[in-house]
Structure 1
Amino acid sequence: MAHLGVEVAEVRAGLVTLKMKFRPELTQQHGFFHAGGSATIADSAGGYAAYTLFPENSSVLTVEFKLNLINPAQGDWLEATGRVVKPGRTLTICQLDVWGVSGGSRRHVATGLQTLICMKDRPDTGS
């Protein structure tokens, strides 16, 4: 996340928002943010949102996710929000939304769903 310049914008129980500022090296051939960057921050926002509801000494892994790219990802930055839709003991479902932000304007650029697994008694190993 540090390599992409991702910042945490908001953390609440069951909701996390991340921001990724525009840099030319994060774009594809038409100058839009690359879908890989959009998917990365969406996946991470959802993972962190689920993690806020997990027990101590656990960690999170994505089981699957689907992301629909609905508009070109452009703007001064991308903002991804992960929101827990259905918490569970083992599996948690999150809604993912990515917005392109320029000045005061926001455009919805991607939306999706994600399933995450709670790895109980398996804290992150760090890297």
Structure 2
Amino acid sequence: MDLETARKTLDSQPFSRLVGAELTAFGAGGAVLEVAVREELRQQNGFLHGGVLAYAADNAITFAAGSVLGASVLTGGFTIQYVRPGTGVRLVARAQTVQAGRRQAVCRCDLYAVAADGAETLCAVAQGTVLRVSGQAGPRAD
């Protein structure tokens, strides 16, 4: 899969469209996912909501692993440590595959809050396991 195909995959996710996520890099075991910070994505203190950071980590990790395992992958689990409040105008999630086998990959993701002047501040670190799946269920018709 190339960057354009990966972008189409991201765009096929309704929640990713809602958040306004963009895939800016993909391949060779890595992926970069970016989200423009807007008011609807903040929590009551004005910081980027932790759920948005977790979403970005989850998707960036899965795309990084998918670049080595193939397109049919799902997150098996991940952990995230918030190290600073997310502020600024953009969130950048940079994920890299740490280890990959035939059926699973372990990835790390560093999440940065980007200020208007381009300065980046690390705000969270995540690690996850992504699994190759043999078949994916489509939407249910209930």
**How far is 1:54 from its partner?**
1.7
Q: Does 1:44 align with 2:59?
A: yes
Tell me, in whole angstroms, the C-alpha distance in 1 between the residues paired with 2:137 and 2:109: 23
- Give secondary structure in 1 for the equivalent of 2:57: helix
Tell me, in whole angstroms, the C-alpha distance in 2 between the residues paired with 1:32 and 1:61: 29
Letter in 1 for 2:120: R
Q: Give yes or no for contact 1:19–1:77 (8 Å, CA) kept in 2.
A: yes
Tell me, in whole angstroms, the C-alpha distance in 2 between the residues paired with 1:23 and 1:15: 26
Unpaired runs of 5+ residues, structure 1, are none
Q: Does 1:65 align with 2:78?
A: yes
Q: Report the TM-score when normalising by structure 2.
A: 0.82
Letter in 2 for 1:107: T
Unpaired runs of 5+ residues, structure 2, are 1-15
**How far is 1:12 from its partner?**
2.0
Q: Report the TM-score when normalising by structure 1.
A: 0.91
Letter in 1 for 2:82: L
Partner of 1:7: 22
Structure 1 segment 1-127 matched on structure 2, within 5 A: 1-55=16-70, 59-102=72-115, 103-120=117-134, 122=135, 125=138
Letter in 2 for 1:93: V
Tell me, in whole angstroms, the C-alpha distance in 2 between the residues paired with 1:9 and 1:125: 27
Q: Give yes or no for contact 2:69–2:103 (8 Å, CA) kept in 1.
A: no
Tell me the C-alpha RMSD between the 2 structures: 1.7
Tell me, in whole angstroms, the C-alpha distance in 1 between the residues paired with 2:26 and 2:132: 19
Q: How many residues align?
A: 124
Letter in 1 for 2:133: M
Deviations 1:60-112 (A, max 9, x none): 11111000000001111100011100011112100011000012200000002
Report which structure shows greater RCO (CA 8 Å, sep ≥6): 1
From the two aligned structures, give the one with the greater strand fraction. Answer: 1
